[in-house]
Amino acid sequence: MNPKQRIALAAGTFLLLAVLAGLGWWHHSGQAAPGRAAGTLTVDVTSPNDLGPGTLREALFIVAAATGDNTSLEGLVLRNCRAAAILLRAAHFHLQSSTIESCDVGVEVAESASSVLLERNRFANDRVGVRFTAPNRDTVVAGNSFIQDKVAGLWAVRGDAGPRGNASARGGGTITVRDNHFNGDGSGVVAGNVAILVERNDFANAPNGAVHLVGSGAVIRGNHIGGEAPMGIIAENARDAIIDGNELEHLTAYAIMVRGSANALLRANRVHNCGYGIAFVLGDPAHPSTAVENTIIEPKFNGIDVIGDSPILRRNQVLQPHLFALHVVDFQQPGAQNVRSQPFLEGNNFRADALQVDNAPVPATARPQ
């Protein structure tokens, strides 16, 4: 190979390397930064002012004008809002590690919203921390703190029960509320005619009840409720509620009250050192509620009260009651017909001397086991 050929080959090799280097730079520059998805728009809020560059208002306008469909807010602090601090109507919204205090409503979630994740936020001294008006598909409220919200930490109430009384019949999905802390709220969770799963939360010091259920569609599972509040879980005019595997302690009145309800299932709940354990009041005799394998330890008064109702009680235990393990009483409203109480008992652990039935002899199906 002569010198001219060697020079041409070297020049060609250099040119090829330059082209490859350029292609490599172009490919690298087109990739997203580490830890950030391609096409992600990040807007930092740097000003506490209401208007102008770097403010939250400017950031929200920028995000709203973006072509993407996912919105995430992190580290936000909002106080003293006269209306809703965040009004959510869109899909794919994520709020995390934020604080909303002393507002009318912390987060207002409209029926049109879906794929919502609220996690590790703090809602304090609001009227309502988070409010839903319908079941929202793929929605999770997890790991948040609700502190002294005046009406409720979380409010999920729809005005009607949907077709055929089914809260999820419209296909709206189920709201999952898990691993949150509720302390000092008027009520922790109020749920009505909305499909909701309330699971593994901690409730304390709720003067109007830790969980209040109305209508259909609620599953209350594996929660801890305590803190010297009067009531734990109240199912009122509810249908098909499932109250399963909860621990309730040191409540001054009833741990669980089922009133005017149909086909509720109370299973494997553990109640200790409360004023009363469980009450069934004026239920639907055609669709009786059921309590199975619940344990009530050392109630200050009665373990189970049945007032104008006929629930099915199977394999429950009442240990060391200070008054009665089971107290059954008819309901007599002035000027109205007497409502008989005829519970069905099977395999329960009640001491024979800890039973009381008023106004009628013990039915054959309700004798101590």
Containing 356, the helix (H) or strand (E) segment is strand 355-358
- Helix ranges (H only) for 121-169 are none
The predicted structure's pLDDT at residue 258 = 98
d(CA 350, CA 326): 7
Residue with tokens 């054959």: 364
The predicted structure's pLDDT at residue 333 = 75
Chain-centroid distance of CA 35 in Å reads 31
Asked if residues 98 and 77 have their Cβ atoms less than 8 Å apart, the reply is yes
Q: Torsion angle, CA of 241/243/244/246, rounded to 10 degrees?
A: 160
The predicted structure's pLDDT at residue 353 = 66
The two structure tokens encoding residue 131: 């409010």
The predicted structure's pLDDT at residue 128 = 98
The predicted structure's pLDDT at residue 159 = 77
Chain-centroid distance of CA 94 in Å reads 17
The predicted structure's pLDDT at residue 157 = 96
| DSSP per-residue string spanning 92-108 | EEEEES-EEES-SEEEE
| DSSP per-residue string spanning 15-59 | HHHHHHHHHHHHHHHTSPPTTS-TT---------SSSSTTSHHHH
d(CA 212, CA 219): 12
The predicted structure's pLDDT at residue 53 = 79
Asked if residues 231 and 257 have their Cβ atoms less than 8 Å apart, the reply is yes
* Neighbour tally for 133: CB within 10 Å: 16
CA atoms within 13 A on the CB side of 28: 6
d(CA 66, CA 57): 15
- Whole-model pTM: value is 0.81
Ordered by start, the domain boundaries in the chain are 41-71, 72-366
- Which stretches of 217-324 are assigned E, i.e. beta strand? 218-221, 224-226, 233-239, 242-244, 247-249, 254-259, 265-267, 270-272, 276-281, 290-292, 295-297, 304-307, 312-314, 317-319
The predicted structure's pLDDT at residue 166 = 53
Q: In sequence order, which residues have a C-beta less than 8 Å from that of residue 232 and are 6 or more positions away?
A: 203, 209, 210, 211, 225, 246, 248, 251, 254, 255, 256, 274
User: Pick from 256, 269, 258, 279: which is nearest to 317 by CA?
Assistant: 269
**pLDDT (tens digit, 0 to 9) for every residue of the chain, 369 residues total?**
554 444 344 444 333 334 333 434 333 433 433 444 445 566 677 777 767 777 766 666 665 565 558 888 899 999 999 999 999 988 899 999 999 999 999 999 999 999 999 999 999 999 999 999 998 999 999 999 999 999 999 999 997 765 545 554 445 689 999 999 999 999 999 999 999 999 999 999 999 999 999 999 999 999 999 988 999 999 999 999 999 999 999 999 999 999 999 999 999 999 999 999 999 999 999 999 999 999 999 999 999 999 999 999 999 999 999 999 999 999 987 777 889 999 999 999 987 667 776 654 333 333 333
Domain 72-366 maps to which CATH number in 2.160.20.10, 3.10.20.30, 2.60.120.1270, 1.10.1040.10? Answer: 2.160.20.10
The predicted structure's pLDDT at residue 257 = 98
